[in-house]
Structures are given as structure tokens and as C-alpha cells.
Amino acid sequence: MNTDHSTIALSDAVWMRMAAPHVAWVCIDRPQARNAVNAAVAQGLEAAIDRCESDPDTWVTVLTGAGPDAFCAGADLKEVAAGRSDALWTERGGFAGITSRERRKPWIAAVQGKALAGGTEIALACDLIVASENAGFGLPEVLRGLIAAAGGLVRLPRAIPPRLAMEHILTGRPITVQQALQWGMVSRVVPSEALAGAALALANEIASNAPVAVRESLRLARLALDHDEAALRRLSQEAIERVKASEDFQEGPRAFIEKRAPRWTGR
């Protein structure tokens, strides 16, 4: 993968660049359509995940949308009305090429403006969400005779208190950014002009840690609600063994003893 700050076009609607060492920046770039998902978005996001997962020097990815008004407005209804809704899904990634995709590495959604319907589902598919003060979320599908079938009905009750999630799912009522912060759906809220810097700072903080340990911690944390304690203990032990087998497991203590910053390799 390109390690300078040049931009790589992954489709007509998605580009990426390396924003910092080990940090990729991916952008949905359809501001004229409020970054709504069409085939180019789905194909581009799938390509972005492929690149980030396969590149050993990419440890964290930030996902954002172009323009000040919308992170993503969900499915492009013009595409749906034209009978092209299947193109908004990919075989491996699901809706937008991301909502069902397995990933080993952390993704941060940097949400400016509205993330509605599929936009909320894309944000929830990421591991962390940083939002601007003008951000907003919601699953309004029931207002249109639809359901949030791209993970929203499952992930929202895990991201906020379940009864509150149920209320917003069944009414289609929007979630304000302050509600999202209060309920723990987003990590932090910042002024719009500070969003990129805040998301990048969080990504850099994660990328300063041992990548193998981060990946194993992420994998186990994602499973925390899906297994009983006995299974989680077993999975934890398996994760520990994989971490112990890494070069970084030796580097951490060595750097501490030598009173220097660790030099992680991700191996």
C-alpha cells in the first residue's frame, strides 16, 4: 500500500490515503448525494477493507464522509427505485461492502453531519465512533415500511441501553449526538472543525500500541456479549498464546527495560 499521503481512488465514490504512519483514511465521496450508498460505494469500501487487511503496515483505519452535512444518508433510493438495490451489497461485506465484513483491525467512524438508516449501520459496524457537534443518527426504516436489515437492529441494542434502542427502532425517532454520547454510542463529540484531528489522534493512540495485542484484544472484546464466561476464558487463553508467539511480545518488555519507546513490527 502507498505509505505517503497521496490519494488512491478505490472507485468513483471512495478514496483512501495514509494519514499517518500505520493509519489509513478512507472517505465516502458523494457529497452531492449526501454520501448515499450506491454500487461504487459498496465496491470501494470492500476494496478499502481488502487493502487495509492485507497491508501489514496498516494498523488502524478511519472512515468518514465528504462534506459537512452527511456522513452517509444510507441507501441511495434512486438506485433502489431503479431496481439496482442488489448492487448496494457485496457477497463478503453485506450492505455497503462493510456491515457484514469480518475485519481483524480496528476501524473508527468519523461522523460529521447525519448518519441515517444505512449510514448509522455503517457507523455501528465500525469499532469506535467519533462525532462532530452537528452529527445525528437514526434508524428511520419503519417510517418507510422497511427494516434496518444491515446490522442496525442487532448492533444498536448493544451500543446503547436496549430499551432506549427499542424505542428508537420502533418509532424511527432520530438519536441526537448528545444522546449518542450520553448513552455510550460514540466515544467523543468535538466541534466540526476538530473532527478530523480528533479521529486521527485516537487512531494514532491506538497505532502506538502493539498491533498483535490490539488485534487480539479487539477480537475478544467483539465476542464479549456472544459467549458465556467459560467460553470467553478459553478464547482469552487462545488469544494469549497467539500474542506470546509474536515478536512484539518480546519487544514490549525489552523496550521497558531499556527505557525506550517500543519498536513494534506487528509480527
The full DSSP string for 121-187 is HHHHHSSEEEEETT-EEE-GGGGGT---TTTHHHHHHHHS-HHHHHHHHHH---EEHHHHHHTTSSS
Pick the closest to residue 72 from 23, 25, 136, 133 (CA basis): 136
The DSSP code for 88 is G
Q: Tell me how many degrees the CA angle 217-2-245 measures, rounded to the nearest 5.
A: 30
What per-residue string of b and e applies to 198-216 under the rule 16 or more CB within 10 Å gives b? bbbebbeebbebbbbbbbb
Side chain identity, residue 178: Q
Question: What are the catalytic residues?
Answer: 121, 141
CA 116 to CA 93: how far, in whole Å?
19
For residues 31 and 68, the answer to whether their CB atoms sit within 8 Å is no
Distance set, CA 240 to CA 216, 235, 266 (Å)? 8, 9, 15
CA 237 to CA 62: how far, in whole Å?
30
For residues 169 and 161, the answer to whether their CB atoms sit within 8 Å is no
